[in-house]
Structure 1
Amino acid sequence: MAASSPQAHGTTKHDSILEVLAFPEEKANQQIPNEDSDCVGCMLCSLNLDLSQGKEEILKHIQIEHKLIIADVNLICNFREYIEYWKKRFAQEPLKEFCSTIRKEDSVTGQKRKYFLLSDALEEDKQIREYLQRKRLQVILEAQQKERIDTSFSRSCLFCSHYFEGNRAALIDHMAFDHHFSIGKPDDLVFTKEFLDIIEEVLNSLKCLFCERTFKDRPTLKEHMRKKSHKRLNPKNRLYDRFYVINYLELGRNWQVAQSEREKDSRNNSDEENDEWQDWEEDETGASAVCLFCSMSSPTVNKLKTHMTKQHNFDLDQMKEGLNFYHQVKLVNYIRRRIHQTSCISCDQQCDDIHSLLDHMTTTKHIKQLPNKTEWDQPQYFFPTYENDNLLCALDEDDDDDKIGDESSTPIIAEDAPDAKDSILLTDEAVLQDLQNT
């Protein structure tokens, strides 16, 4: 495939890319700007094409009729405005001034033909793509902020009869903690009302949210989701992507890409480790554990304990004294939940944010004052506040390590030997006689 580069255009003739656009700024209307709302004119002729069924029709038209290929179409935030922008520019100057030329095999004839390639290798194209991405992100963040401070939200729980009024966070937290169904943290979501409507519609159609199988009735569906641990969304369903802010932050990057990169970095770091014993560092949890009071994490529990002692004046080992493993789990989950709700772990003080909460608990010394056992020794705290909380695993491993070689640990005492006078062989001659005969 041969290619030639165009001359640099756009920045030399225009002080700003926005001067060429001349599009009015959209306002946040609690919905994503609809790029496929109407027909759009071809960027190179007078033909109008319908975008309501997707971009394929116009992409096919410009490739066949005008020998033009647009690179990375999936990374263009608002395709309609992108097309309208280049329609104006192509009316001013010839296509060859903006595009590279490539030779591509024709799918019908098999012969190689010359095509024009429009991509972000051209600085002007890169600018318009970035501008449309920033424009959309601004709309998303404004909509998200409105939802964060909105107190008019009202809706029933998707799984029970509880009704919530006020802020959306109350319902989201209720479903996560009481029904173990999490759609993410409230501050990570946008267009929550529509999101919940879609989830409710799926449930009402008797479909599993994860495997998307259809069941005969609601009880059967509920039992399936409970037994199979399918009370979660299908991560491969692209329908849900638009409700997560992370999907708008960077072109071509969503939560799945971020997770894949983290796993790749983890594998690379593992491959680079030296296998010699003296270079090994004990990994007590097998994965990073997170501090109870902030976002600090460490793969070594001892480092995490030191951090909590120095930074938060909280002694994890002292907290565990006199508690069995199950009580420790409940207490950790209780603290996690209270901190997540920005509520003091020892009193009913509710704070606006985590910083105010830590200031309150430090000033009052409530961070060292554990609540009454009746507050946290409840069945609901058997379930972790956060998925894969590795600090819970460390509790069990610490206890096992402490018992090794500890002479003060409780000894195992054998049962008292039975008294021979009570033996059935002496009290029942018939049994003894039968045994002798055999």
Structure 2
Amino acid sequence: MDFMKSERAKESFGPLIFEENRCDLLQNVDTRCLLCEDEFNLQISLPMFLAHIFDVHNIVIEDVQNIANLHDYIRYWQQKFKNTTIEQIIPSITFDSTNQKYFLMSNLLKEDKELRHKLKLEYALKVQEYERNDKSFIRFCLMCKLCYEGSRQGYLEHLSVQHNLQLGNPQNLVFVDELINTIESKMSNLQCIYCERIFTDRHVLKEHMRKKLHKRINPENEEYDRFYIVNYLEPNKSWKTILKEDDRYAISREANADEEYSDWNEKEDQIICLFCKAKETDINVICLHMEAEHGFSFTDITKDLDFFQKVKLINYIRKQIHENRCSYCQLKFETFVDLEKHLTGENHYKIPHLKTFDQPEFYFPTYENDAFLYLIDDVEDN
């Protein structure tokens, strides 16, 4: 009869054995039971431990697979149950008409919820610290044939600088390997990581992501939330909730343009010439226009600049032209027509000395913020 009741209870509470969704951190040490002296190695005998506390002590730990450090979780409650009985702390559930009580340990109990969050945050911080200090990271680039060796931050900077692939501020990332695996899997399946559309081949996917500013993750997709430490700071609060509450993190977002997202309409995307009002929807066409009309070959002129210097140059030129000022000699004019005459007559459709525009103030777009800023790639995919 006891066996039948136990089996019926198991059916009600769900499976007790977890094969794929194991706890993130199962220490390879013996852990004593919550209420008795029996010990279990959670790394190799978690199902046995769960069956023991269920059959012997009528205890069910809800969502055990999501507890970041089960060893410390159990030790915490061991100490609590030494001074206070489990009946006084943990709510019980009576099963059917048998009057058999089962104690459900879940985040419905405030103390349990706070403990789970504390362990989860501590674990995420430990992983982040390891990822920051580890210099033995080796991985092929997602966009080219480079086999990168060094730190994860260096790898992310390579993706950002060389390919304009923005995965977020490295200081805010955690579980980086899993994040890269996720991005790689989507791209291998020819799926855009931003709009998640499926394409016919890799070349079409690459062009779509480049032209439509989709070389970044979709912030609306909660699948990515676990990879950003800001989502671990407070229980059940994502970055969206925190941003609505105060502006502490809004400053951080503003300071890191890779966390800003725009949902561009494909029919409305237009790229404006750096020196006149001409507009095109194709970056190659606008570059040909600048070369033919202004003698300004963007590719050749900026071949020795890195991505960030190109962004600064574009913002600098935008600002100067917006103010009717020559971007080469800084001479100011009353009208745009006068400026055009000067640029053509003096052949000043060229870039000034690097120090003139390679300034922090020109990194963030403030003048005519169009797609041109982000459609320039230093390195084409091989």
TM-score normalised to structure 1 length: 0.41
More RCO (CA 8 Å, sep 6+): 2
TM-score normalised to structure 2 length: 0.45
